[in-house]
Amino acid sequence: MSTREFYEAGYAVGDPRMGHWRAIGARSKAAHVETLAKRAGLTPRTVVEIGCGDGAVLAEMAARGWVVDGFELAENAARRAKERGVARRVESFDGEHVPAEPDAYDLAVLSHVLEHVPDPLPLLKEAARVAPNVLVEVPLEDNRSARRPPKRKLSEGAGHLHAFNRADVLRLVNEAGLEPRGQMTDPLPYEHHAFFSGAAQGAVKWAARQAMHKAGVAERLVTLHYAVLASKRV
């Protein structure tokens, strides 16, 4: 099965539960973009999401007043994103070459995309070609919990090809000719943990991760979401 076929199959069934899961994640992902942009003093008007899936994050970014476009490998996902009616332009693309002019956007977003790409650097460089500022977010899966066989199986089943740590991501950012301007980690909100685990266990997981995150030890023990905003070096 090709990469395109894998993701076409993943979006083939309109599962309301998975739609709800994507909506939960989209709220956090868009909030991370907004937070890091504000910290860097950026006020983007036009934002492109490369690997926009079914448009859940596009919808959250559009709600923040940004003009958004999206490009997605899976045609059926791109169609659903377009049907939301929140983006100026949504198209499927080949996963390598974004059909946009250099610096066409103020900000490019690669949210939970690079871990799915066999060679992430060319796509990151492509993001930097179409925008002077790039936001990358990935799960940091180079940790004790995520290395357990059941966790790796789940991750691989979701199409993750890389288990990144923070240094891996910063190295890619540097090799793409970008300079970090801000970064953050997130142990994720209660609703994220409760979605699969239920209310009681989700509350325990959320509290434990919040405590580990506050103590500065979470990154090597459990999976956090990590976002970095970077700009082209001049």
Grade residue 3 by pLDDT with cuts at 50, 70 and 90: confident
Residue 14: what pLDDT? 67
**Residue range 144-165: mean pLDDT, rounded:** 95
Q: Any idea where the domains of the chain sit in the sequence?
A: 3-142+160-187+225-232
Residue 174: what pLDDT? 98
**Residue range 43-55: mean pLDDT, rounded:** 97
Which CATH architecture fits 3-142+160-187+225-232? 3-Layer(aba) Sandwich (3.40)
Q: Is 210 within 8 Å of 157 (Cβ atoms)?
A: no
DSSP labels for 68-91?
EEEEESSHHHHHHHHHT---SEEE
Asked if residue 201 has pLDDT above 70, the reply is: yes
DSSP labels for 26-73?
HHHHHHHHHHHHHHTT---SEEEEES-TTSHHHHHHHTTT-EEEEEES
Asked if residue 13 has pLDDT above 90, the reply is: no
Stronger pLDDT, 144 or 13, i.e. the higher one:
144
Q: Give the list of residues 6+ apart from residue 65 with CB closer than 8 angstroms, or none.
A: none
Residue 234: what pLDDT? 81
Grade residue 100 by pLDDT with cuts at 50, 70 and 90: very high
The distance of Cα 121 from the centroid of its chain, to the nearest Å, equals 15
Asked if residue 128 has pLDDT above 90, the reply is: yes
- Separation in Å, CA 112 to CA 5, 43, 203, 211: 18, 22, 24, 24
Grade residue 167 by pLDDT with cuts at 50, 70 and 90: very high
